[in-house]
Amino acid sequence: MSTTSVAHLFRVVVWGAAAGVAIAGGYLYLRTPSQSRFELPVTSAIGGPFTLTTAEGKPFSSQMLKGRPYALFFGFTNCPDVCPTTLLEMSNALAALGPDANRLNVLFVTVDPERDTAEHLKAYLSAFDRRIIGLTGSAADIASVARAYHVFYEKVPISSGYTMNHSATVFLMDRKGALAGTTNHEESDSVQRDKLRRLLSK
Amino acid sequence: MTLPALGQEFSAGTVKITQLWTREVPPSSKVAGGYMTITNTGSEPDTLVGGFLVGAGGFEVHQMETVGGQMKMRELKPGLVINPGETIVLKPGASHAMFLDLKTPPKVGQVMKGTLIFAKAGKVDVDYKVEPLGARAPADHGPVSKSNTAHEHH
């Protein structure tokens, strides 16, 4: 894991602990800001097995990802900015990578399964590269994946109902399912593509 | 239909609004961000408290920020304050108008008509230019990098 991603992970941990938020699973929750970053788990702590449902309504197991690198990020379809931007950037990156992109899986996991049914996700993702796999599931399934990736999400009440706070991180996982790095929508297209190329060459 | 020039200025009292735009959304998405530049030329603070968009069921004023890799959104109540002499740019990744329950999704080339409501200046009818999905800024605003240095409201 790069220094940057360790620092990033540290920030996520500190933010979660400082906010006193109940991160599902309690692992991050039990960490306190006073703990040294050097005590943080190594890369193997990010990721892990999961079972969800694709936008096509089919079961999807993380076992199906074995042997190929993948990029995984969290979002929701009522997201006005980060999610469509990240999806568009990943779509453009897949196009720019050419045939190599077929060796990469890109996964978009909703943090709003209540509203994001498979059918809804399918319509939403039709605006992006068709290779992007949309995933939804039960509230418990989503919480389990979020826990595996140490990400935090929450409902935020607004006048019209609710919106979601969530991680903006794109996790770059190698062919063995270990964390190889991260990116996000604030990085330039060229940095994102270099990272994806590097991931493909691992 | 005449497309609005982005330089078009709308005003109510001492509040001036320019560079209004929104962008296309993926199918089935019911929300879009409304972006603009608001200047208060008066000597009293004013507040953008709400508004309407033709084709949307709701309008709220939201603040977005990314902190430690977390996207955080909240509704600004009672609204977005613009101090005397201040110019605030509502843009992706920062404060913005939130169009909710979209019935007529924005399409590039269309003009979206709406109304802004300020606490002191009152109501003003405005037009939004529609940019493509994922646009970071209005197209004729010149090249914009992801590290846009435009003034931000704090």
User: Which residue from A8, A78, A186 is facing B31, i.e. has the nearest CB?
Assistant: A78
* Residue A139 maps to a domain: yes
For residues B99 and B33, give the distance between their C-alpha atoms in angstroms, rounded to a whole number: 6
Q: Which helix (H) or strand (E) is B131 found in, with range?
A: strand B122-131
Q: Where do we find the tokens 């002499």?
A: B85
- We report the CATH number of the domain holding residue A56 as 3.40.30.10
**Sign, CA torsion B43/B46/B52/B53:** positive
CB distance A68 to A102 below 8 Å:
no
Query: pLDDT tens digit string along B59-83?
Result: 999 999 998 889 999 999 999 999 9
* Chain B residues whose beta carbon lies within 8 Å of the beta carbon of residue A190: none
Confidence of residue A178 (pLDDT cuts 50, 70, 90): very high
Q: Taking Cα atoms as reference points, which of A62, A139, A141, A45 lies closest to residue A107?
A: A62
Please give the share of chain B, as a percent, with pLDDT higher than 90.
Answer: 78
The answer to whether residue A1 is domain-embedded is no
Identify whether A116 is part of a domain: yes
Partners of A23 on chain B (C-beta within 8 Å) are none
| pTM beyond 0.80, yes or no | yes
User: Which listed CATH number (2.60.40.1890, 3.50.50.60, 3.40.30.120, 3.30.160.270) goes with B10-130?
Assistant: 2.60.40.1890
In a domain, A63, yes or no: yes
Write down the ipTM of this complex.
0.83
Q: Which domain holds residue A177?
A: 44-201
| % of chain A residues with pLDDT over 90 | 76
**Residue pair A106/A75 in contact by the 8 Å Cβ criterion:** no
Nearest 5°: phi and psi at A12?
-60, -45
CB pairs under 8 A between A and B: 101
> Does residue A3 form part of some domain?
no
Q: pLDDT at residue B85 above 80? A: yes
Query: Residue-wise over B86-117: b if at least 16 C-beta within 10 A, else e?
Result: ebbbbbbbbbbbbbbebeebbeeebbbebebb
- Quick: pLDDT tens for B126-142: 999 999 999 988 876 54
Q: Which residues on B lie below 8 Å from A123 (Cβ)?
A: 26-28
Q: What digits encode the pLDDT tens for the residues A38-64? A: 444 444 589 999 999 999 999 999 999
Number of domains in chain A: 1
